[in-house]
Amino acid sequence: MIGKAIRLERIINRNNRKTVIVPMDHGVTVGPILGIENLRDTIDKISEGGANGIILHKGNVLSGHRRSGKDIGLILHLSASTSLSQDPHSKALICTVEEAIKLGADAVSIHINLGANNEKEMLRDFGFVSQKCMDWGMPLIAMMYTRGPHIENEFEVGVVKHAARVGAELGADIVKVNYTGSAETFEEVVKGCPVPVVIAGGEKTETDEQILEMIRGAMDAGAGGASIGRNAFQHIAPEKMTRAIYNIVHHDYSVEKAKKVLE
């Protein structure tokens, strides 16, 4: 599995084994929202801010490859649904591990919504992708959420730690989940998952301090890093926000110290 180890080192910090990932796969789900209209420009800023990896759909790799600037790890997203769907929680596979290899990806990611109406189909797809990743030595990131008619609170520690564990049990190398609101509760999630756990940023927060506090709390709980999308690429200064997140994850900055990066 040396191939997987080498690829993982392209999307994590080789010294502390932690990572800052910026997903920018939102165009399929909600269209060309603020921050991803000019994707190359935003990727340049995110890269200069120090992110270890970005998540893109295959079309943006084909049409938007940067041929200059600071390098950054490429994670190809294999799942999709749109907000126009009658059931946007039902994700379908729209790309393969083999395509990801041809496109030069360092890892792949999938999105699973536990509790959704087609949970069993998504879990079946997870198993299929996991097998292919083992065959090819490709790192797998699983975005594990709990969203569906029977989920009362997708941020509740019980369902979040269940989601994280499912991701690990089915073969993910890194699991991405919602933050549970405190370092104390998120520590339960981390302890129950045998692979690194990174937090999702979710909707754009009202203040910079809110997202930085989330990341600081997750790191205090033992998280493996952060996967922050809109709160990074929609920021008025994406490079600075990415740098602030980077410094919390990789240099153990306090929230107050990280805020100074934004000044």
From the candidates 18, 25, 132, 240, give the one annotated as an active-site residue.
25
Q: Is 145 noted as a catalytic residue in this protein?
A: yes
Q: Tell me how far apart the alpha carbons of residues 117 and 29 are, in angstroms, rounded to a whole number.
A: 18
From the candidates 18, 45, 91, 176, give the one annotated as an active-site residue.
176
Q: Is 176 noted as a catalytic residue in this protein?
A: yes
pLDDT reported for residue 182: 98
How is domain 2-254 classified at the CATH fold level? TIM Barrel (3.20.20)
Q: Is 257 noted as a catalytic residue in this protein?
A: no
Report the predicted TM-score, pTM, of the whole model to 2 decimal places.
0.96
DSSP string across 213-230: HHHHHHHHTT--EEE-SH
Q: Tell me how far apart the alpha carbons of residues 130 and 142 are, in angstroms, rounded to a whole number.
A: 10
Q: Tell me how far apart the alpha carbons of residues 223 and 74 are, in angstroms, rounded to a whole number.
A: 21
3-state secondary structure of 145: strand
From the candidates 18, 132, 145, 173, give the one annotated as an active-site residue.
145
Q: Which sequence spans correspond to the domains of the chain?
A: 2-254
Sheet strands (E) in the chain: 19-23, 53-56, 73-77, 79-80, 92-93, 107-114, 140-146, 174-177, 197-200, 225-227
Question: Bridge-partner residues for 111, per DSSP?
Answer: 143
Give, for all 263 residues of the chain, the pLDDT tens digit.
899 999 999 999 999 999 999 999 999 999 999 999 989 999 999 999 999 999 999 999 987 778 888 899 999 999 999 999 999 999 999 999 999 999 999 999 999 999 999 999 999 999 999 999 999 999 999 999 999 998 999 999 999 999 999 999 999 999 999 999 999 999 999 999 999 999 999 999 999 999 999 999 999 999 999 999 999 999 999 999 999 999 999 999 999 999 999 99
